[in-house]
Amino acid sequence: VGEGYKFIGWYDLAGNSVAAEMLSADKATLRYTTTGEATYYARFEKTVTQKFVRQVKNGDGWTNTSDDSIATLNPYTHTDVVGATASSKATVGEGYKFVGWYDAEGEPVADGMLNADKTTIRYTTTGDATYYARFEKTVTQTFIRQVKNGDNWEETTDDSIGTLNSYTHTDVVGA
């Protein structure tokens, strides 16, 4: 099979798949006893490659990464024929936030291509394509109330001293 093509199978003059007993174990070789004139077609379809790439926020831009601690994608590459379904699931690593799926132009993909939690992209292939799963590093900010007791500062949960809106807050770097 030539690069960029997938062998579909052997077909007779009427367009029917040939009988299984006429094929080798790998179904690529046609074998039969000649009984008369016959025409057989070896059918091929053009393949398309779908690439799924991880990117991490780097200043104002995005950098491709292969660091599994940031996130994993399943799969990273998918090759099939036009009209096949392609999909990839983004699983975020600890200390990172999944931002979303983006196309080759850097635009967010349509909601119709995403599952409910937007971590899995799924679509029908039309040609070669690359999609980017983007992630940002998160940081945790902890706010602890203290009260002076003599010469020492002590932690307290007593709301009568003063209230805090949030004791712990996690957000992306730079927020």
- Give the percent of the chain with pLDDT over 70: 93
pLDDT tens column, 142-151: 788 888 889 9
Q: What is the mean pLDDT of residues 2-24?
A: 91
pTM of the model: 0.70
Query: How many Å is the Cα radius of gyration of the chain?
Result: 28
Asked whether residue 168 carries a pLDDT value surpassing 70, the answer given is no
Read out DSSP for the chain? --TTEEEEEEEETTSPBPPGGGB-TTS-SB-----S---EEEEEEEEEEEEEEEEEEETTEEEE---TTTEEEE-SEEEEETT-EEEEEEEEPTTEEEEEEE-TTSPBPPGGGB-TTS-EEEEE--S-EEEEEEEEEEEEEE---EEEETTEEEE---TTT---S-SEEEEETT-
Q: Which pLDDT score is estimated for 100?
A: 98
pLDDT average, residue stretch 44-62: 94
Whole-number pLDDT of residue 143: 81
pLDDT given at position 167? 61
Enumerate the β-bridge partners of residue 20.
none
pLDDT at residue 163 is higher than 90: no
How many angstroms from the chain centroid is the CA of residue 126? 17
* Mean pLDDT of the 85-100 span: 96
Instruction: Note the pLDDT of residue 174.
Output: 66
Say whether pLDDT at 116 is over 80.
yes
Could you give phi then psi for residue 142, rounded to 5 degrees?
Answer: -115, 130
Task: Read off the pLDDT band of 170 (50, 70, 90).
Answer: low
Question: What does pLDDT average to over the chain?
Answer: 90
Per-residue model confidence (pLDDT) at position 138: 87
Q: What percent of the chain has pLDDT over 90?
A: 67
Residue 59 has pLDDT above 80, yes or no: yes
